Structure 1
Protein backbone atom coordinates (compact mmCIF):
# COMPACT_ATOMS: atom_id res chain seq x y z
CA UNK A 1 0.00 0.00 0.00
CA UNK A 2 1.45 3.34 -1.01
CA UNK A 3 1.74 6.29 1.36
CA UNK A 4 -0.76 8.19 -0.80
CA UNK A 5 -3.36 5.42 -0.38
CA UNK A 6 -2.74 5.37 3.39
CA UNK A 7 -3.20 9.15 3.62
CA UNK A 8 -6.36 9.05 1.49
CA UNK A 9 -7.91 6.28 3.61
CA UNK A 10 -7.07 8.05 6.88
CA UNK A 11 -8.44 11.35 5.61
CA UNK A 12 -11.61 9.64 4.37
CA UNK A 13 -12.41 8.02 7.70
CA UNK A 14 -11.56 11.21 9.61
CA UNK A 15 -14.12 13.03 7.48
CA UNK A 16 -16.75 10.27 7.44
CA UNK A 17 -16.50 8.84 10.95
CA UNK A 18 -15.15 11.74 12.98
CA UNK A 19 -16.84 14.58 11.10
CA UNK A 20 -13.56 16.43 10.66
CA UNK A 21 -13.82 19.25 8.13
CA UNK A 22 -11.76 18.51 5.02
CA UNK A 23 -10.25 22.00 5.27
CA UNK A 24 -8.86 21.15 8.72
CA UNK A 25 -6.93 18.14 7.43
CA UNK A 26 -3.29 19.01 6.87
CA UNK A 27 -0.09 17.10 7.69
CA UNK A 28 0.84 19.63 10.39
CA UNK A 29 -2.62 19.50 12.02
CA UNK A 30 -2.47 18.54 15.69
CA UNK A 31 -4.66 15.52 16.34
CA UNK A 32 -5.98 16.79 19.66
CA UNK A 33 -6.22 20.52 19.04
CA UNK A 34 -6.91 21.11 15.37
CA UNK A 35 -8.96 17.97 14.82
CA UNK A 36 -10.57 18.16 18.27
CA UNK A 37 -10.16 14.44 18.95
CA UNK A 38 -10.72 13.46 22.58
CA UNK A 39 -9.73 10.25 24.37
CA UNK A 40 -12.91 8.46 23.29
CA UNK A 41 -12.24 9.49 19.69
CA UNK A 42 -8.79 7.92 19.97
CA UNK A 43 -10.42 4.61 20.92
CA UNK A 44 -12.65 4.92 17.86
CA UNK A 45 -9.59 5.85 15.82
CA UNK A 46 -7.85 2.63 16.88
CA UNK A 47 -10.92 0.63 15.81
CA UNK A 48 -11.06 2.50 12.48
CA UNK A 49 -7.38 1.79 11.83
CA UNK A 50 -7.85 -1.89 12.60
CA UNK A 51 -10.84 -2.20 10.28
CA UNK A 52 -9.28 -0.15 7.46
CA UNK A 53 -5.70 -1.40 7.63
CA UNK A 54 -5.78 -4.63 9.64
CA UNK A 55 -3.20 -3.41 12.17
CA UNK A 56 -3.59 -3.10 15.91
CA UNK A 57 -2.51 0.01 17.78
CA UNK A 58 -1.84 0.33 21.49
CA UNK A 59 -1.49 3.39 23.69
CA UNK A 60 2.30 3.36 23.45
CA UNK A 61 2.02 3.79 19.68
CA UNK A 62 0.61 7.28 20.23
CA UNK A 63 3.39 8.54 22.54
CA UNK A 64 5.16 10.44 19.76
CA UNK A 65 2.09 11.12 17.61
CA UNK A 66 1.22 14.79 17.76
CA UNK A 67 0.42 15.75 14.18
CA UNK A 68 -1.53 14.11 11.43
CA UNK A 69 1.78 13.51 9.63
CA UNK A 70 3.02 11.57 12.67
CA UNK A 71 -0.15 9.47 12.46
CA UNK A 72 0.34 8.82 8.72
CA UNK A 73 3.92 7.74 9.45
CA UNK A 74 2.81 5.48 12.30
CA UNK A 75 0.36 3.61 10.08
CA UNK A 76 2.88 3.37 7.26
CA UNK A 77 5.47 1.90 9.67
CA UNK A 78 2.94 -0.58 11.09
CA UNK A 79 2.11 -1.75 7.57
CA UNK A 80 5.76 -1.84 6.53
Structure 2
Protein backbone atom coordinates (compact mmCIF):
# COMPACT_ATOMS: atom_id res chain seq x y z
CA UNK A 1 0.00 0.00 0.00
CA UNK A 2 1.37 3.40 -0.97
CA UNK A 3 1.66 6.32 1.45
CA UNK A 4 -1.08 8.34 -0.26
CA UNK A 5 -3.44 5.36 -0.15
CA UNK A 6 -2.76 4.95 3.57
CA UNK A 7 -3.40 8.66 4.23
CA UNK A 8 -6.68 8.47 2.27
CA UNK A 9 -7.71 5.42 4.31
CA UNK A 10 -6.86 7.26 7.55
CA UNK A 11 -8.87 10.32 6.52
CA UNK A 12 -11.77 8.10 5.50
CA UNK A 13 -12.09 6.40 8.86
CA UNK A 14 -11.57 9.68 10.75
CA UNK A 15 -14.45 11.30 8.84
CA UNK A 16 -16.65 8.26 9.39
CA UNK A 17 -15.80 7.45 13.03
CA UNK A 18 -15.41 10.96 14.40
CA UNK A 19 -17.93 12.73 12.16
CA UNK A 20 -15.48 15.48 11.21
CA UNK A 21 -15.63 17.48 8.00
CA UNK A 22 -12.98 16.15 5.60
CA UNK A 23 -11.98 19.73 4.72
CA UNK A 24 -10.82 20.27 8.31
CA UNK A 25 -8.31 17.41 8.07
CA UNK A 26 -5.10 19.02 6.89
CA UNK A 27 -1.52 17.99 7.71
CA UNK A 28 -0.95 21.03 9.95
CA UNK A 29 -4.33 20.91 11.78
CA UNK A 30 -4.27 19.95 15.46
CA UNK A 31 -5.44 16.34 15.77
CA UNK A 32 -7.06 16.59 19.21
CA UNK A 33 -8.87 19.89 18.53
CA UNK A 34 -10.03 19.00 15.01
CA UNK A 35 -11.45 15.63 16.05
CA UNK A 36 -12.67 16.89 19.44
CA UNK A 37 -10.92 14.00 21.20
CA UNK A 38 -11.39 13.22 24.86
CA UNK A 39 -9.83 10.28 26.70
CA UNK A 40 -12.54 7.84 25.58
CA UNK A 41 -12.18 8.99 21.98
CA UNK A 42 -8.49 8.09 22.11
CA UNK A 43 -9.51 4.53 22.99
CA UNK A 44 -11.83 4.51 19.98
CA UNK A 45 -9.04 5.89 17.80
CA UNK A 46 -6.66 3.14 18.96
CA UNK A 47 -9.25 0.45 18.19
CA UNK A 48 -9.86 1.89 14.72
CA UNK A 49 -6.12 2.07 13.97
CA UNK A 50 -5.53 -1.48 15.16
CA UNK A 51 -8.45 -2.90 13.19
CA UNK A 52 -7.55 -1.03 9.99
CA UNK A 53 -3.79 -1.55 10.02
CA UNK A 54 -3.20 -4.65 12.16
CA UNK A 55 -0.62 -3.38 14.65
CA UNK A 56 -0.81 -2.70 18.39
CA UNK A 57 -0.87 0.91 19.56
CA UNK A 58 0.52 1.94 22.95
CA UNK A 59 -0.68 5.03 24.80
CA UNK A 60 2.81 6.51 24.89
CA UNK A 61 2.88 6.42 21.07
CA UNK A 62 0.54 9.44 21.10
CA UNK A 63 2.83 11.64 23.22
CA UNK A 64 4.55 13.28 20.24
CA UNK A 65 1.50 13.45 18.00
CA UNK A 66 0.18 17.00 17.73
CA UNK A 67 -1.10 17.43 14.17
CA UNK A 68 -2.36 15.18 11.41
CA UNK A 69 1.08 15.02 9.75
CA UNK A 70 2.52 13.57 13.00
CA UNK A 71 -0.36 11.08 13.03
CA UNK A 72 0.22 10.10 9.40
CA UNK A 73 3.96 9.71 10.01
CA UNK A 74 3.30 7.48 13.01
CA UNK A 75 0.97 5.16 11.10
CA UNK A 76 3.17 5.14 7.99
CA UNK A 77 6.19 4.15 10.08
CA UNK A 78 4.26 1.37 11.84
CA UNK A 79 2.84 0.05 8.56
CA UNK A 80 6.36 0.16 7.10
CA UNK A 81 7.75 -1.83 10.05
CA UNK A 82 4.97 -4.39 9.65
CA UNK A 83 5.68 -4.79 5.94
CA UNK A 84 9.41 -5.28 6.62
CA UNK A 85 8.64 -8.17 8.98
CA UNK A 86 6.69 -10.09 6.32
Q: Pick the TM interval, shorter chain.
A: over 0.9
Which protein has the bigger helix share? 2
Rounded Cα–Cα distance in structure 2 between residues aligned with 1:17 and 1:3: 21
TM-score, reference length from structure 1: 0.93
Gaps of 5+ in 1: none
Larger-gyration structure (1/2): 2
**For 1:42-53, what aligned pairs fall within 5 Å after superposition?**
42-53=42-53
CA shift for structure 1 position 28: 0.6
- Alpha-carbon separation, structure 1, partners of 2:38 and 2:68: 14
**TM-score normalised per structure 2:** 0.87
Q: Deviations over 1:23-80 (max 9, x none)?
A: 1110011111122122111110100011111011111111100001100000011111
Aligned pairs, how many?
80
User: Where does 1:1-80 land on structure 2 (aligned, <5 Å)?
Assistant: 1-80=1-80
Kept in 1: contact 2:20–2:34 (CA 8 A): no
* Distance of 1:49 and 1:32 partners within structure 2: 15
Runs of 4+ aligned structure 1 residues displaced above 6 Å come to none
Unaligned runs of 5+ in 2: 81-86
Q: Give, in angstroms, the shift of residue 21 of structure 1.
A: 0.8
Q: Please provide the CA RMSD for this pair.
A: 0.9
